[in-house]
Structure 1
Amino acid sequence: MSITEQITSAILDFQDPYAKVTWRQMGVNVTVTPESNRYHIAIKLPYPAVGAHDVIARSLREHILAVGGALPDSATIHLTHQIVKKRLPNANLLPNIKHVIAVGSGKGGVGKSTTAVNLAFALQLDGARVGILDADIYGPSIPTLLGRKEAQPVSPDGKRIEPVMAHGLASMSLGYLVDEGDAVIWRGPMASGALQQLLNDTLWPELDYLVLDLPPGTGDVQLTMAQRIPVSGALVVTTPQDLAMIDARKAIRMFTKVNVPVLGVCENMAVYVCPSCGHRDHIFGDGGADLLAKQHDVPVVGRLPLNGKIRALSDSGRSVLIEDPESDLSQPFREMARHLSARLAASGERAIPEIKIVED
């Protein structure tokens, strides 16, 4: 086996730090080009992780050397990404959107909408094209969280509407179309119809991910989503206390019954860190998400802090990921987005690895 082939084989056997499977299993595209005594390695990941490329490259270099690969110090490693649309029922209904990620919870008050918005911004920071749809028909909060409460969607043809843009994020919500103080009093079928209309009548740009912020519970809107929207996977948001875990368990079972893969569980408000002394306190309990994940064979993809700055920024229509994307508060959201998108890339149909070895 040549040195080039040894390097290529070692690369494909590298375990992805987020998907927890090898790049061979994920179908990662690898090109190894030897040039004199140097090697140029180009890797195309199936998920966005721009902010983690340096860390992944260092881990890959260590892996190649650990398995006996002869990798010169002068070798260069260049990572990019290419997000591929999977074949799903009704996927043709959303030709501009590669993946729909549903964000749900069994109950209200767990920070689901805030998590959905920050997930969308985290994916965008790592290089993805992202949109968000507020499917919480009865209590739309995305306009407030994006700081666009006064926005009025524009219709270029009188039939379909342009999404409202916020920091590069394409968004749509019933909250843009009704007065903030008005109560939406609709029966289930009307709410379900409104969700479909918001999704199908919005002129979405080309998107890698559309984050779908679902209403809490397991009712008509969730069933409509499962039956008529090509959802690639779901994130279940919960808090550590027992009552929230009971309802999160119902949400996982609901997604499972309607054949929507649960990509992971997010434990919101997992820990409070005192800003004065650094003491960590699990105010709402500890270990519940791990038990839930073990019972349902899904990973905990995120543990988000209970922090006053996140709350204050969200209430004022700003995200910590926009205000300070490299801060310690932003990192849990960014890591969660990578785990989620990597697991999505590794799920379902598996691509055949594309390997290119360019000889001198």
Structure 2
Amino acid sequence: MTDGQRDQLLLSLYSSVLQPTSIPGVLTALDRFLDSDGLHLLGWDRVRNSATTSMATQRITEIHGMYSAEARAMDNRFDIAMKRPIGTVHACQHYFDDRFVNRDRFYQEYLIPLAGMRYVMGSRIYSHAGEDVVIAFNHEHGRSPFSTVQLHHFQQLIPHLSNWFTQLRQTEALRAAAWSGEQGLAALEQGVLLLGQYGQVLYLNPVAEQWLAHSPAWVAGRWLQQRPIEEALQRVRKNRQTVCLPLSLPQGAFVIHLLPVPQDDSLQTSYSGKNLDLHPYGDILLLIRPRHRQHQPSTADLSSLFDLSPAESRLARALASGINAEGYATQHQLSLATVRSQIRAILTKSGEDNLQSLMRLLAAIPAL
């Protein structure tokens, strides 16, 4: 492999952090680069004594899931990696001769008969919060040990592999947080739209996309083309103050909050001489929600949350949908005094002080 091909391999390695589906192909390329017969990347939790991560190329895929706590306990190679500093390359031929291998349970019961492998070179590339991650390249039984040149090439890759896996772990947490946030916003029927300084859309969550679809307020996926909204955007840009206004869409009546992206220096860092806020070009955040939520929590949900009686749960659900006490009393042929008594009971059980606070609480509860 030429220097240019090696550089391309490293670029692909780092790119896979943002495109995890490309990781198997990158690992296969690494395997070929080092003339290996199989690559295995294994993360191990020292506290739970179990695997946290296991990625392998095709030759190892069939058996890497069989690497159990029992196999780990027999694996002297892993113990060597744990005793050496992170980034240190080790090769099994430097520690285990043929006599040892012929008598060792791990080699004779696991590695050779199941994987068909004999020689390995590896390194620990990551260690954090009780997790250790090692990467190992294998030679089949019958091949020669890894050469000095191969060990040297592997050593040159180690810093990149360590950085790559660290970034992979960090982006996994970000992806999990983003997914959780998306699910939470969807449950709350909350649309989020981030506009840039020129009105361009920088971010649009699926809920906002659903609300704005086929709307005259939404043109070519770029900006909101209704005069009240345009005027509100101008006010927010000028005064940097939050504005709230009603929004009429084909799907119904909505409320839109326009919030200026913070310009606080504490949120800024320097990049190429520019200030970065929560988004490098973010200007105004728009929060869009239906005036009356389409998906309300069930009476069973409310009963479970606040230990309400069936009658109180029905009333609480009606309040959450926008029905007032008078309307509920008329609809269910109850006296207003009875409804107000039930509201007082709901306030007590929910811990809220007044009806307005209760309404805000109920409006924020998603359908469970």
TM-score of Structure 1 vs Structure 2, range by shorter chain: under 0.3
TM-score by length of structure 1 reads 0.19
Larger Rg over CA atoms: 2
**Bigger helix share:** 2
TM-score by length of structure 2 reads 0.18
